[in-house]
Amino acid sequence: MSLEKQQLSTLADRVNDLLDDFAEAEGEAVDVVAETLDDVDPLATPIEDEFRVGTMSLGWDAERRVVILECHDGQEGLQVDEEGEPTLEPEHPADFETVLRVVIEPASARAFARRCTKVIAAGRPPCPFCGGPLDPTGHVCPRANGYKR
């Protein structure tokens, strides 16, 4: 599966928030254990995805004390409302073609969020004007009327 940089950033933030609110509230020392699980290996390339993530859901299972992440390939079964805007929930869950469900222990989830943050930081920085990725030599910025920044 693949997802956009902004989706990954939001996912890392929400995983950290969820762990702060639920796992640590239950007395788990998530940060201490997560430091031993840090993944610093490079990503395997070329990246060939099975599907591109459309929507995600994130939750905490209090009984099992785990994080549950679901990624949906929402492009095929995308639903729209009367105004033509995409809806967040499909009429039938089977409308999604592919679903990936991952159950993660809290320490592994914290290590995953840290890895996400490192991957994002290693990418090209965004342009301060348009938000597009900056190349080492700059880029033609649409907000600067086509001038190179």
Q: Residue 30 contacts by C-beta under 8 Å, 6 or more apart in sequence?
A: 19, 23, 24, 106, 107, 109, 110
Residue 133 falls inside a structural domain: yes
Range of the domain at 67: 5-144
Higher-confidence residue of 35 and 122: namely: 122
Count of the separate structural domains present in the chain: 1
When pLDDT is averaged across residues 115-122 and rounded to a whole number, the result is 87
Residue 4 pLDDT: 85
Residue 12 falls inside a structural domain: yes
Alpha-carbon span 125 to 96, nearest angstrom: 33
When pLDDT is averaged across residues 114-138 and rounded to a whole number, the result is 83
Alpha-carbon span 42 to 15, nearest angstrom: 22
In the predicted structure, residue 96 carries a pLDDT above the cut 50: no
Alpha-carbon span 15 to 20, nearest angstrom: 9
Residue 146 pLDDT: 65
Residue 129 pLDDT: 81
Residue 149 falls inside a structural domain: no
Higher-confidence residue of 30 and 15: namely: 15
Higher-confidence residue of 23 and 55: namely: 55
Q: 113, 12 in Cβ contact below 8 A?
A: yes
Average pLDDT, the chain: 78
Residue 121 falls inside a structural domain: yes
Residue 82 falls inside a structural domain: yes
Place of tokens 């910025």: 141
Residue 115 falls inside a structural domain: yes
Residue 105 pLDDT: 92
